[in-house]
């Protein structure tokens, strides 16, 4: 039998993060207010720190014609690819604001976003650190976004 191990760090709050990571998380939490989520009332903000020091943000964008909306993570990845082609992503902070309830649990990317994050990781040949949170409370830190998608499907599978 084989085993897949998933490791992440769980922090009680942002005070345990480095100054840079805490700032990135604050930016992600602030970005949630720019989300267009009139249907789910679940706003998500994602902010990337690039290797060149630039930061880019993305927010979820819903549409009355489900599933036409796009998640914050994929908005972010598209913006990075368009504006900073060839520049690797160092860290992504993702936060959510649930307007219908609490926002204390870390938000985790959906399956489609996990696949997109894996693809970006492979493209840039460098891990992407993830910081996942709500508007308050616990924070998950993963050193490699690719760890969210074990047994993944990649371009190598099509050779």
For the annotated catalytic residues, the residue numbers are: 73
Range list of H helices, 6-150: 19-31, 72-83, 111-124
Contact in structure between 126 and 88 (CB atoms under 8 Å): yes
β-strand pairing of 89-98 with 129-133 = parallel
- Is the alpha carbon torsion for 136, 141, 38, 41 positive or negative? negative
**How far, in Å, CA of 93 to CA of 21, rounded?**
8
CA triple 98-47-12, angle to 5 deg: 60
Q: Kindly state the DSSP code that residue 103 receives in the 8-state scheme.
A: -
Sequence-distant (≥ 6) Cβ neighbours of residue 108 within 8 angstroms: 132, 140, 148
């Amino acid at each position: 039998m084989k085993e897949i191990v998933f490791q992440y760090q769980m922090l009680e709050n942002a005070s345990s993060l480095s100054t840079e990571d805490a700032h990135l998380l604050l930016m992600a939490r602030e970005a949630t207010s720019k989300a267009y989520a009139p249907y789910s009332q679940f706003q998500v903000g994602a902010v990337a720190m690039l290797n060149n020091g630039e930061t880019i943000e993305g927010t979820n964008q819903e549409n009355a014609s489900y599933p036409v909306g796009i998640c914050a993570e994929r908005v972010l990845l598209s913006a990075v690819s368009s504006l900073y082609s060839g520049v690797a992503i160092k860290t992504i902070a993702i936060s959510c604001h649930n307007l219908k309830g609490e926002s204390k649990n870390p938000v985790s990317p959906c399956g489609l976003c996990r696949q997109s994050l894996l693809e970006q990781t492979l493209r840039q040949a460098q891990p992407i650190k993830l910081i996942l949170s709500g508007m308050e409370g616990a924070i998950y830190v993963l050193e490699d976004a690719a760890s969210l998608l074990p047994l993944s499907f990649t371009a190598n599978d099509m050779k």
